[in-house]
Chain A
Amino acid sequence: GAGVSQSPRYKVAKRGQDVALRCDPISGHVSLFWYQQALGQGPEFLTYFQNEAQLDKSGLPSDRFFAERPEGSVSTLKIQRTQQEDSAVYLCASSLARGGLQPQHFGDGTRLSIL
């Protein structure tokens, strides 16, 4: 497909486990973003890549959250020692170029539930 693809769609983990969420951006899109969406809220920014460089990680809530995009395409968001407050939908978005005046295109998200 031509859109942003995220996997898995649903993930259930026990508190304390590590999880990894994958994002395949639209081919050719330079910029990649991760957002966290809690129930009843809008998406909140986590981190941003331009190609393989992580230019902004100011939204990552703790050092348990780690993201990478080693070859400038696929990205992985890893959460270590998960806690119940990590339960949310994690959205990935990509855009054609860096910043301003470029809409971001979102995947359908990964719904993470921590038991």
Chain B
Amino acid sequence: DQQVKQNSPSLSVQEGRISILNCDYTNSMFDYFLWYKKYPAEGPTFLISISSIKDKNEDGRFTVFLNKSAKHLSLHIVPSQPGDSAVYFCAASALGDDKIIFGKGTRLHILP
């Protein structure tokens, strides 16, 4: 039973436009959410995180939105650049629990 769901296996976006990656979760105990980016043959790289006490966190071109009532979060990348082509993992952890639960990932293709 997946606790973190990324329902879009892949997404293609034109360079310069906004990329929106979505994630849903089922565990109401999750209070910390993260996005990781992964290139082939490399480990996941931390991108941005958000605590459950916030509904938005922004870092440069990356913004994460959290809707707790809907158990939904999204990552916005604007403007999208060719180097953003990668697999993006949504992840979550619960208070007092140190492990991270990952989704299956969404492969983002930025088109020239």
Contact = CB atoms under 8 A, between A and B. Distances in A.
Interface size class on chain A is 20 to 34
A98 interface: yes
B27 interface: no
Interface stretch (A60-68, A69-77, A80-88, A101-109): A101-109
Given A100-B31, A101-B32, A103-B34, A42 B46 contact: no
Given A40-B104, A42-B89, A42-B105, A99 B98 contact: yes
A39 B22 CA distance: 21
A103 B95 contact: no
Interface string B69-108: 0000000000000000000010101011111111111000
A92 to B, nearest CB: 8
B46 A98 contact: no
A26 interface: no
Contacts of A31: 98
Interface residues of B, number: 27
Nearest to A33: B99
A107 B98 CA distance: 18
A104 B32 CA distance: 12
Contact of B43 (A4, A55, A101): A4
B99 A41 contact: no
Contact of A100 (B4, B45, B96): B96
Nearest to B103: A42
Which of B4, B43, B101, B105 has the largest number of chain A CB atoms within 10 A? B43
A41 to B, nearest CB: 6
Contacts of B95: 100
Interface of A: 4, 6, 31, 33, 35, 40-45, 48, 50, 55-56, 59, 91, 93, 98-101, 103-109
Interface of B: 4, 31-32, 34, 36, 41-46, 49, 51, 89, 91, 93, 95-105
14 contacts: A31-B98, A33-B99, A41-B104, A42-B102, A44-B102, A45-B100, A55-B98, A91-B43, A91-B44, A99-B98, A100-B31, A101-B51, A103-B49, A107-B43
